[in-house]
Structures are given as C-alpha cells and as structure tokens.
Structure 1
Amino acid sequence: MSGRRTKRSDPRGHWFLVALAAVLTGGALFLNGYVHNVVGETHTPAADTGDSAVLDRLHAGGPVVNMSETRPQTVHVARRTVALTFDDGPDPRWTPQVLDVLRKHGATATFFVVGAHVAENPDLVRRMVAQGNEIGNHTYTHADVTTTPDWRTRLELSLTQKALAGTAGINTRLIRMPYSASPDAVGDKQFAAMRLLGAEGYLVALTDLDSKDWSRPGVDQIVRASLPPRDAGAVIMFHDAGGDRSQTVAAVDRLLSVLDKRGYTATTLTRAIGLPSAHAPASTGDRRLGEALILIQRASSAFTGSLSWILAAAGLLTLLRLALFVVFAWIHAHRARRHRGDRDAGRRRHGIARWPSPPPVTVVVPAYNEEAGIEATVRSLVATDYQGRVEVIVVDDGSTDRTAEIAASLGLPGVRVIRQPNGGKPSALNTGITQAAHDILIMVDGDTVFEPSTIGNLIQPLADPSVGAVSGNTKVGNRRGMIGRWQHIEYVIGFNLDRRAFDLLGCMATVPGAIGAFRRSALRSVGGVSLDTLAEDTDLTMAICRTGWRVVYEETARAWTEAPTSLGQLWRQRYRWCYGTLQAMWKHRGAVVERGSFGRRCLGYLTLFQVILPLLAPVVDIMAVYSLAVADPLPVVAVWVGFVTAQALSGWYALRLDHEPASALWVLPLQQFVYRQLMYLVVIQSVATAVLGVRLRWHTIRREGTFTTESMLTEVTTGR
C-alpha cells in the first residue's frame, strides 16, 4: 500500500554511529579482557633449560642482573640485609595489610606491580611511594615474556610505565619477569627475554629465596623458606595479590620480628645492592598519557561490569516474558474454548454475548498496485460461509497497474470498486468507511485471503457492546522458503502468542491491517483512521483503547497473507512497521498518565521489549563472539542452547494452539543468525530515523501473487 511521498531520504549517517558504537563496545570488551588476564603465580610455565658458559655465569651470580652489556653482570645483596619483594599487586585487600606490617616494623620493600592493577588501585601505588617503598615493573597483564612476541613485551612494559606515571608520577628501571625465580632456574627462553629487557634499560630482579607463599603452605613454612642462612643477605619473593594472602601478611610480620632480632635491615632492592633509587620522574607527556590510560581502563571495566548486569537482567526478562506469555496463552485458550461452547449453546453467561441474528458486514479492501493478488483476496471474501449480508468495497488508491480493472471485472455480487487519487492507506480506509453501508466493518489488505469461516468468527466478539475492535489471526501463506518459514515462526510466536496475552491484560497494541473488525461507533469516536503515522493499524488500535473500548483477539478468525520473499523486501516492510510503531508510541505517550492501565502496560511493554532490548541485542552478539574467541566457549554455547530451547518450547505450544505442525521449529536455531540481526538492525535504524526527525517515506513491497493459482486459493478458502 502506498502513501504520501517525500523528497527527504532515509538518514544514512546513523550507520556510522552504529559502527562506531560497535567498535567502542568491542574495544571496551577487548581492553577489559586484556587487562584482567592476570592469574598470579598459580601455575608453572613450561620447562626452560639451557647449557652454555653464559648461563653458567648467570647461575652462579646474584639475583639482580644487568643485561645491557655484552656479558651479564650480577649483584648480590649486602650481608645482614634483606630486600623484601612483593609481586602481582597492588591488591585492594592485601596490599594495605602488607604496607601496615612494613610500617609497623619501620621497613621498606620493593613491589613489582602489574600495570592493570596499578590503574585499578592508584591510591595504593601513591601510598607505596609515600612510605618510601620502591616500585618495579611486572608487566601490564602478568604476561609470560618468554612466550610473548617482542612487540607484545614492549607494549606490556610501556603500558605499565604509563600507568605508574599517571598514578605516582614516576617511571622505574626495575623489572621482574612473571614466573621467574632464582638465577639458577634461568634457561634459554628467560635469558633471551632478559636480553630484550636489558636493551630496554631495565635491571632484572630475580630472587635468592622464594617463600612459595602463593601455594599457602602455612605461616611457619613460609617463614622457614624466607630466612637467609647465617648472616647472608637475600632478595626474598612474596606476593601481595593473586588470591588469599592472609598467610603472607602473617608470615612477613613474624619474619621481620625474627630478622630484627638478628640485626637485619629490611629495605628496598636498590638500597640493598648499593644503587640509587629505581625511580625517575615521569615526563609531563607520560603523566597525561598515563592518566588517560587509567581513565580508559576504568571506564571499560565499569562499562563491561554494568553491561554484564544489564544483559543478565535482559536475559531474565526475556525468559520471564516467554514463561508468562505461555501461561497467558493457556488461560486465553481455555477461556476461548469455554466462551465458544457457551455461544454455541446460545447462553449468555459471564458477559459472553451472542448475535441474535447475523448482522450485515462491510469489508473494506484498500489497494495500491495489488494486481498480483487482488483477485484472490476478493474471491475469498465472497466465498465466505457467513450467513449475514457481506458488502465488499475495494478502494483503489491511485494504482498504476491493473488493480482496479481486475477487481471490477470479476463481476462478483456485493463487490464495489471505488477509485481515488493516491492518498495513502489511511485515506483509502477512510473512503471505504465513509462509503460503507453497515456498522460492522472489516479491514483487510489487498494481499490477504480469508477462510470461509473467517468473517463469522471475526465479528462474533463484537456481539459484546463493550468491544470496539477485534484482531484476527494472521498467517503466512508463502512459507516454503527459509525467509517465509522464519516469518511464519515469528507470526505464530511473536505476534499471535503476544496478542493472546494482550487480550487478557487489556492492552492490545495492534489490530493488524491484514485482518481486523471494527464497530463504526468506535471508529467514529477516534475520528477514523489517522494519517499521522506509518503504522496506521497500531495508531488506530491505541486510539480506540484510549477511548475505553475493549480490543480483543479472535484466534479462529484466520487470514492468510503474503509475506516478503527477500531480505530487502522484508527490511523495507519492517522498517516502516517499526518506525510507524515508534510514531504511534510517541503520539499516544499521554496514555501513560491516563486512568486505566492500557498506556502503562502497552507502552511500557513496547518500550522495553520492542525498543530497549533490541537496541541491546548487538552488544549481546558482540559479547558472545568475543567470549567464543578469547574465553571458554562452553558457557556461551550453553546460554545460547538454553535460550533456543526456551523459545522452542514456547514456540511448540504456540504452534499447537494455532493447530500448526511443530516441524516448523527446525528453522528456529537458524533464525538466530540472520533473521534476528535483521530485526534489531531495523529497530536501530528506526530509532535513529525518529531521533533525527526525518519523515520516513512509504516503502512498498513487491507482490508475488502467492494465492493466484487455483490450488493455493482452494487450499485457503476451504480452510486448510
């Protein structure tokens, strides 16, 4: 159906915004995943061995190594001096306790920090420095530099330096490689990595004594492993992050007491080997870059955390919606069967009404370039088994094809053809309403066919004087291709199942243009069909509900419609539908504060499930792909299977209610990979169009003439 044309084109710039949002979301997820790739000293890396004179020299040397020269130079710690070192921090729980213990004993230490943790806990780094402690580089993500490529190693070092510059205004020339230990454990791989670190200007810190506190062997064992022999000096390795470090805190407290009695000094690593401080003032540029890095990392962490909660809530809401709508559908079906039984028995109970005699009905068919299907539509309306009088008015809205000629040439009784200049579907409907001879009106699209029983079933609820409109059951006629099957599933599960719930809740959003019955007085109360939106059926339904009329759903009134057969045609149709629905929601926003629950229920549901959640859907896909690529895929697959299973169960019940074969569900999993993305992109484009204030033009779809063959028409009109 055509409408008024506009010279303004659809906006295209918003696709750049969509792409930018996707890139930013993906970047935030990647950064958050990258910086949290910190596991602490929880596993032993692959064996690293080697046999050379240089390695022998290194094995016999001290724990601090200068690799900037041709031959490695090593340094030992002075006698009766210990350099306590702590790896993997700072940690917001355990690092403050370690600092308290050090201050209690008047000691200082060296903290080899992970850059990502520095960015998350800047105050702790500043406190470390303020208490006279020393900071060393431990890479940005606790990466094993023996396996990372050179560019990644340099990136890890540089990012950590930037984080230190942004938090404490310093750089450091000390580094300890993750998963390193004493000099005698250095093999070819670590030696090669140390060469690179030396070329970058770092002193490499190993250890004399590994407390192995990461394994939590007990305080006594940690203290025994940390005591230097006789009066020897030592570099001692602890950890202030990466797990429960309560044993570490207690062991350091006891160790410092023992060392104090033995006359030891606990100081920073550079002081312990007689070198100047490892700290150097950071440049202004590095400080600014560091501050920006910290801000970006914390923003990505907050965004990812918030997003996780939002998506979890969205998933729960989706599952809750499916469960509730299945329950509502069961209640609706149970009531419908009881009501039909009462009507058949001629009783009037619980507000159930029955027409004393079949009232006359006018069927209005707005048509624009519908030559492919108009004959099948009109013939199906005339072939009804309804006992009352039926008037069919075909309003040709300025068609440029043979729509009007075909309808007029049929010569069927009770059929009138009215021609008018193109004014849009609402205009055509209003013309039909004005020319209608009867007070019960049915509106049907020019590509739709009725079953013989449809008219009688559709108008039956109007016997209740409180009912102003009735929605019929729209079925997809051309469901043989994949796109048709997907739409068939959507119509049964997404449309008709919803309408059962809306009927019970009194908040019907749309009487579809393909099949709807109206009382003339209800149409008159809202001024007819409005031209304000592109979703005239939704606009009209909301207006009728707001005036106090009941709008109900009649599942036995079936209409078979021709769905789009290509993705492009489907896009154009749904784009118009979605944009028009947004227009209708905005037009009727005042219903939220009106008496009655229609506005709050209807508009609240549409806003949440047809606007907000579809806008979040791309993020769900991005997170799913990201998790599959960098994490354990089983949780993602399990969640996906769970959602598809829930949809399949609700779909099975919806198909059963509609007397459709459950075999159609085989396309449901495939629907998640093309059709779902198409639908949420339609919502994104529609919202962008609405926000930008662009008036969308009417989009027509090409008709295939699904019901033009005698066999197809016979199948439908005989009630397949």
Structure 2
Amino acid sequence: MDASESWLYAVTGYAVLLAWPVTTVILVWFALRYAGTHRAKVVNRSVAGGNGRPEHFWVIVPALNEEAVVANTVGAALNLRGPAGTLSRVLVVDDGSDDRTPEVLAAIDHPRLHVMRRELPEARQGKGEALNAAYRHISRLTAESGTAPEKVVVGIIDGDGQGSENILVEVSRLMRDTRVGAAQVQVRIRNRNRLLGAVQDLEFGAIVDACQNMRDALDTVGLGGNGQFSRLSTLQTLGSAPWSSCLVEDMELGLRMHLNGVGIRYTSRASVTQQAVVDVRRLTRQRTRWAQGNMQCARYLGRLFSSPRVARIALAEMLHYLLSPWANAILTVLLIGTGLAGLGGLLIGHPIVFIPSWAALGQAGGVWLIVTTFPGLLWALVHKYKHGDEGMPRMLTAALAYPAFLILGLAATYRALGRQASGRQAWAKTERLVEEPLAVAA
C-alpha cells in the first residue's frame, strides 16, 4: 500500500475518533446559545394571550416498595402550587407493594392526597400499566366533575422524585399555548456528594439538558420517565392505555405524541430531582434497561420515515436516539478490534495499515486519551456555568470519570442486545436510599 492510501486510512481513522469531541463542541454552543433566555423569549411570544392555561394538576407518583422515599416524595408533591386559581392534587399508585409503603402512605393525612392501591394479578405489570390505571381514574373523575380535559394536566414524578417549587407554574406558562400538549422539565441528581452521583448529575444537568434544549428548538423534545407533564386531552387521544409495556414507556409516549402532531416543550427553568444509582452493578442494570427500551422503540422507525408530520431534521434527530445504542455497540467493536489488531501486528512484525508503527500506535493512543477526556471536561464547565451549585474540583473529578461511565454504558448496551435477542423483559426494581424527612405544607 502506498503513502497516499496510508494517509487516507489515517485521516479516516482520526475523523472517526474526533467525531465525538467535535459534535460535543457543536452541542455545547447550541445549548449555551439557545438555553434559557432565547427559548423563553420565543415561548413567551408564542403564548401571549393563549387560552390553554391549565386549571387542574394531577401529580401521579407510581410506587412499588418505596417505603424509604415515598413520604418525602409525596410531601414534596403536596407542597407544589400552581398559579392562582389552579387546583393541584397528588395521586399515588401503590402497585402491589409488600413492604411498609401502604403504612407510610396511610400515615399521611392530607385532603389533596389520593392513594390507589393495586392488588395482584393486576399489580406489578410494569410502570406503564400503573400509570394507565391512574390515568383512567383521573379521566373518570374529570368526566364526573364536568371539567374540560384540555384544562387538566397530568404530571409524573417518580417514587424518589422531588419537584422544584415553581414546577407547576412553569408548566402552566408553557401550556398557555394551546398547541402544547406536553412538557418535560429538567432532571437533576440530589445525592451528588458521591462520585457516581456527581457523574450522573453531569449527565442530566449538562448533557441531557443541552440535548433537550436543542430538541426544543427542533420541536422534537423527548419525554422522560420523571418530570413529564401532559394534558389529559392529549393522553385521551392515545386511547385507554397511553403508556405501553415498553421498558422506556416515556420515550415511546413521546414518539406517539410526535407522530400525532402534538407539541412538546422542554424547560430548564424548573426541575425534578431524583436519586442517583451509586452501585455499579445496579447502575449497569438500570442502563441496560434503558438501552433495551431504546431498541424496542426502533419499531417506530417505519412510521417516522413515512409520517408527513415529522420534518426531516426532526426525524434525523429522533433516529439518533433510537439508533445510537446499536451504533455505539458496533463502533466500539471496530475501534477496540482495530487497536488490538494494530498492537498484535506490531508485536509479530506485520503492522496493519491503520497503525504502521509503534510511533503511530502511541500517537493514536494520545489522540484517544484527549478524545475521551475533552468532552467531560467541557461539560463540567457547562455545568458550573449553568448551575453553579457544585464546586469545580468535584465536577472535574466527575469529568475525568466520565469516560469510564461511558464504558459502563457500552457494556449495558451489549447486555441489552443479549436480553432483546433472548426475549427477556423482566426487571428488578431499583433500590432507594433513605433520606432525611421533609415537612409537608398544610
């Protein structure tokens, strides 16, 4: 092989390596350019004089063996207040808990708290089925009261979730626009005093936030399992079971809404906090479930391609999220395989074209080190700029640990591939950490 061909292979290899930091820079620029003030001005103009303002809020808390956290979660949800003249209520779905969750809930005496107890065999059929049961209950109460469904908003806060005080006010502001059928708020991590917690807050508070701000500008916002809010009328267009048995029922709900032409907005002005998974084994299990759920949602690709409602740029952005688990798995095999082949070739005296010498191997290793550490360091700066609630030493430590966190995610992707291929769907519940009790407002 001549020098020109070797040069072409080298350029191609480095292009693959540099794709991640380059796209990170673009995303960071986009996030800082369009986060907060820009989008807020656009939304404020679009909702001026809008008549879609919600009058009733229901916050659903799905609970399965949540004795460690459910009291704080319910207390925080009951403390939430919407704009003047709106009514907010909390509906806890006890999905067949066999710990002390029922006793903890029974001890909370509040006029705006409703508890729905599901028993086997209906219970424990997945979070989606629990949410569907709560949704049908709310639909029935809404019809009996004669309230217009488009004036009712249903929010989801997970068993370990706590919403910011302004969350209902912010959602109400967004939904003054009648074209907005759902909204997603920012997600943050509470127990970020531990390294894994700090890395997950770097992920949610900076990276996911940036992606969602970009998706907001492209009208392709995705719904998360925690902190999603939907008009009851929007959910009713999806039938009696808006949430599916998919392992990421929130992502599928968002895709179905987009295919129906529903407007979904994102805001980082309000947030919901949740607990980080600080055990590596449990974290891998959680990420495996998420990756497998993304793979399950790939069945929507055909409808997305053929839908006249989804613009091309929005389609491309959605496909990125649906296909990235598969692409990451394939790319990892190629990169690791190339590196091992290059090392082996040098050891036996038959170097491959991508790595023709030990100097080239060292150079490639140096580039790989920069490529894998640069994005995390950049996101640490973004996190500090946007939030300022963590010291730089902790966030820089999280940034340096970020590449290992991504490797864990890739391992989870391969586990998800195996589970999906074998048809395994069952999952163990993520365990919670005990926290200090919160006060509940009257």
- TM-score per shorter chain, which class? 0.7 to 0.9
Q: Render the CA deviation track for 1:546-581: whole Å, top value 9, x for unaligned.
A: 100111111112111012120111011111111011
Q: Render the CA deviation track for 1:54-80: whole Å, top value 9, x for unaligned.
A: xxxxxxxxxxxxxxxxxxxxxxxxxxx
User: Which aligned pairs between 1:380-399 and structure 2 lie closer than 5 A?
Assistant: 380-386=76-82, 387=84, 388-399=86-97
Match of 1:612 in 2: 327
Measured in 1, the distance between the counterparts of 2:301 and 2:51 equals 33
Measured in 1, the distance between the counterparts of 2:108 and 2:365 equals 58
The one-letter code sitting in structure 2 at the alignment partner of 1:606 is Y
Match of 1:680 in 2: 410
Match of 2:204 in 1: 491
Measured in 1, the distance between the counterparts of 2:51 and 2:102 equals 34
Measured in 2, the distance between the counterparts of 1:696 and 1:444 equals 23
Q: Secondary structure at the match of 1:636?
A: helix
- Check 1:353–1:317 CA distance in 2 against 1; reply closer, same or farther (3 A cut): farther
- Check 1:582–1:635 CA distance in 2 against 1; reply closer, same or farther (3 A cut): closer
Match of 1:601 in 2: 316
User: Which aligned pairs between 1:164-175 and structure 2 lie closer than 5 A?
Assistant: none
Residue 637 (structure 1) aligned with residue 366 (structure 2): yes
1:671 aligned residue (402, 410, 416): 402
Q: Tell me how large the CA RMSD over aligned residues is.
A: 3.0
Q: Which has the higher helix share?
A: 2
User: Which aligned pairs between 1:471-550 and structure 2 lie closer than 5 A?
Assistant: 471-508=184-221, 510-527=222-239, 528-550=241-263
Q: CA deviation at 1:324?
A: 2.5
1:648 aligned residue (367, 371, 377): 377
The one-letter code sitting in structure 2 at the alignment partner of 1:512 is G
Q: Secondary structure at the match of 1:668?
A: helix
Match of 1:567 in 2: 280
Q: Render the CA deviation track for 1:287-320: whole Å, top value 9, x for unaligned.
A: xxxxxxxxxxxxxx99xx97x6765443343234
Match of 2:132 in 1: 430
TM-score by length of 2: 0.82
Measured in 1, the distance between the counterparts of 2:195 and 2:94 equals 32
Q: CA deviation at 1:355?
A: 6.5
Q: CA deviation at 1:376?
A: 0.5
Measured in 2, the distance between the counterparts of 1:574 and 1:452 equals 29
The one-letter code sitting in structure 1 at the alignment partner of 2:220 is C
Measured in 1, the distance between the counterparts of 2:401 and 2:342 equals 20
Q: Render the CA deviation track for 1:50-103: whole Å, top value 9, x for unaligned.
A: xxxxxxxxxxxxxxxxxxxxxxxxxxxxxxxxxxxxxxxxxx78xxxxxxxxxx
Q: CA deviation at 1:656?
A: 2.1
2:154 aligned residue (413, 418, 441): 441
Measured in 2, the distance between the counterparts of 1:534 and 1:621 equals 29
Residue 336 (structure 1) aligned with residue 48 (structure 2): no
Measured in 1, the distance between the counterparts of 2:334 and 2:216 equals 33
User: Which aligned pairs between 1:137-536 and structure 2 lie closer than 5 A?
Assistant: 311-329=13-31, 330-338=33-41, 342=44, 349-352=45-48, 359-386=55-82, 387=84, 388-421=86-119, 422=123, 423-436=125-138, 437=141, 439-508=152-221, 510-527=222-239, 528-536=241-249
Q: Does the Cα contact within 8 Å between 1:395 and 1:432 map onto a contact in 2?
A: yes
Q: Secondary structure at the match of 2:326?
A: helix
Gaps of 5+ in 2: 143-151, 347-357
Measured in 2, the distance between the counterparts of 1:700 and 1:499 equals 27
Q: Does the Cα contact within 8 Å between 1:484 and 1:563 map onto a contact in 2?
A: yes
- Check 1:634–1:694 CA distance in 2 against 1; reply closer, same or farther (3 A cut): same
The one-letter code sitting in structure 1 at the alignment partner of 2:198 is R
Q: CA deviation at 1:334?
A: 3.2
Measured in 1, the distance between the counterparts of 2:117 and 2:379 equals 45
Q: Does the Cα contact within 8 Å between 2:129 and 2:245 map onto a contact in 1?
A: no
Measured in 2, the distance between the counterparts of 1:671 and 1:677 equals 9
Q: Render the CA deviation track for 1:101-156: whole Å, top value 9, x for unaligned.
A: xxxxxxxxxxxxxxxxxxxxxxxxxxxxxxxxxxxxxxxxxxxxxxxxxxxxxxxx
Q: Does the Cα contact within 8 Å between 1:624 and 1:636 map onto a contact in 2?
A: no
- Check 1:311–1:430 CA distance in 2 against 1; reply closer, same or farther (3 A cut): farther
Q: Does the Cα contact within 8 Å between 1:404 and 1:417 map onto a contact in 2?
A: no
The one-letter code sitting in structure 2 at the alignment partner of 1:384 is L
Q: Secondary structure at the match of 2:102?
A: helix
Q: CA deviation at 1:474?
A: 0.7
- Check 1:356–1:502 CA distance in 2 against 1; reply closer, same or farther (3 A cut): closer
Q: Does the Cα contact within 8 Å between 1:332 and 1:504 map onto a contact in 2?
A: no
- Check 1:658–1:354 CA distance in 2 against 1; reply closer, same or farther (3 A cut): farther
The one-letter code sitting in structure 2 at the alignment partner of 1:709 is E
Measured in 2, the distance between the counterparts of 1:623 and 1:365 equals 48
User: Which aligned pairs between 1:121-132 and structure 2 lie closer than 5 A?
Assistant: none
Measured in 1, the distance between the counterparts of 2:177 and 2:115 equals 31
Measured in 2, the distance between the counterparts of 1:356 and 1:522 equals 12
Q: CA deviation at 1:470?
A: 0.7
Larger Rg over CA atoms: 1
Measured in 2, the distance between the counterparts of 1:668 and 1:648 equals 5
Q: Does the Cα contact within 8 Å between 2:81 and 2:88 map onto a contact in 1?
A: no
How many equivalent pairs are there? 402
Q: Work out which structure has the larger RCO, using CA pairs closer than 8 Å and 6 or more positions apart in sequence.
A: 2
Q: CA deviation at 1:585?
A: 2.2
Q: Does the Cα contact within 8 Å between 1:333 and 1:657 map onto a contact in 2?
A: no
Q: Does the Cα contact within 8 Å between 2:64 and 2:97 map onto a contact in 1?
A: yes
Q: Percent identity?
A: 20
Measured in 1, the distance between the counterparts of 2:416 and 2:379 equals 28
The one-letter code sitting in structure 1 at the alignment partner of 2:78 is V
Q: Render the CA deviation track for 1:509-542: whole Å, top value 9, x for unaligned.
A: x311111110112111222433341110011111
Match of 2:436 in 1: 709
The one-letter code sitting in structure 1 at the alignment partner of 2:407 is Q
- Check 1:327–1:396 CA distance in 2 against 1; reply closer, same or farther (3 A cut): same
Match of 2:427 in 1: 698
Measured in 1, the distance between the counterparts of 2:177 and 2:154 equals 15
Q: Does the Cα contact within 8 Å between 1:487 and 1:563 map onto a contact in 2?
A: yes
Measured in 2, the distance between the counterparts of 1:645 and 1:658 equals 20
Q: Does the Cα contact within 8 Å between 1:475 and 1:561 map onto a contact in 2?
A: yes
Q: CA deviation at 1:700?
A: 1.2
